[in-house]
């Protein structure tokens, strides 16, 4: 990961284009970032949902895999709220999960209303750490505490690349613990 290069828009990656065309295309893309830069996403994204019956395992509570899916879903919605999906696509890149860490503290059951909170702890050169909390809505019991280490990669090669400053600027990093 030492030799990270910034991701370039896919339209500019082809080597067959003349330099002047690539420079013009790149200028158009970055001008678009500046002119259409979305407002910053909320620092701590929160939403509630009811546990569907399909998320229940043979033990009668929410399957552990369901929490991983919900983590990805809420992270995607938070990221989209700050314009991150468009910025990532324009950079010809994607995010992949490097690792998940999940602490299951209490079970959740079908029909219960859950509140999930997520926030970005920090941005590195090509990585970002995101945290999550799942709580039972009616009594505020902490059910799950989790984090995902995300890596920004080139869509064409899958190799890590530098996160564009425009993308970092669209989000507020919260740090280790988000306050309610």
Assign residue 99 the CATH number of its domain. 3.10.129.10
Task: Note the pTM of the prediction, 2 decimals.
Answer: 0.76
pLDDT for residue 112: 97
Residue among 123, 131, 132, 106 at smallest CA distance from 162: 123
Would 79 be classed as within a structural domain? Answer: yes
Confirm whether 175 is domain-assigned.
no
CA distance linking residue 46 with residue 85, whole number of Å? 18
Whether the per-residue pLDDT at 94 is higher than 50: the answer is yes
Residue range 109-142, pLDDT digits in tens: 999 999 999 999 999 999 999 999 999 999 999 9
What is the predicted pLDDT for the residue at 90? Answer: 94
> Does residue 28 form part of some domain?
yes
Average pLDDT over residues 32-55: 78
- What is the reported pLDDT for 11? 37
Please report which confidence band the pLDDT of residue 179 belongs to, taking 50, 70 and 90 as the band edges: low
Q: Is the model more confident about 39 or about 48?
A: 48
Note the pLDDT of residue 175: 79
Q: Is residue 3 part of a domain?
A: no
Q: Is residue 102 part of a domain?
A: yes
Let me know if residue 133 belongs to a domain.
Answer: yes
Measured distance CA(101)–CA(117) in Å, rounded: 16
Q: Does the residue 1 lie in any domain?
A: no
The span from the CA of 3 to the CA of 160, in Å, is 9
pLDDT at 146 over 90: yes
pLDDT at position 14: 37
Number of domains forming the structure of the chain: 1
67 is a domain residue: yes
Q: pLDDT digits over 58-90, tens only?
A: 999 999 999 999 999 999 999 999 899 999 999
State residue 119's pLDDT score.
Answer: 96
Q: Residue range 158-172: average pLDDT?
A: 94
Range of the domain at 145: 10-169
Q: Is 134 in a helix, a strand, or coil?
A: strand
């Amino acid at each position: 990961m030492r030799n990270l290069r910034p991701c370039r828009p896919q339209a500019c990656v082809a080597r067959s284009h003349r330099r002047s065309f690539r420079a013009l295309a790149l200028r158009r893309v970055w001008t678009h970032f500046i002119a259409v830069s979305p407002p910053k996403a909320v620092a701590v994204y929160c939403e509630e949902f009811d546990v569907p019956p399909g998320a229940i395992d043979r033990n009668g509570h929410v399957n552990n895999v369901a929490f991983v899916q919900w983590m990805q879903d809420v992270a995607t919605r938070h990221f989209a709220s700050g314009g991150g999906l468009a910025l990532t696509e324009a950079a010809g890149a994607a995010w992949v999960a490097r690792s998940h860490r999940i602490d299951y503290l209490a079970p959740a059951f079908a029909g219960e209303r859950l509140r999930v909170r997520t926030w970005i702890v920090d941005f590195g050169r090509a990585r970002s750490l995101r945290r999550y909390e799942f709580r039972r809505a009616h009594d505020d019991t902490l059910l799950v505490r989790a984090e995902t280490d995300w890596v920004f990669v080139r869509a064409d090669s899958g190799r890590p690349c530098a996160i564009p400053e425009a993308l970092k600027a669209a989000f507020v990093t919260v740090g280790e613990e988000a306050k309610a």
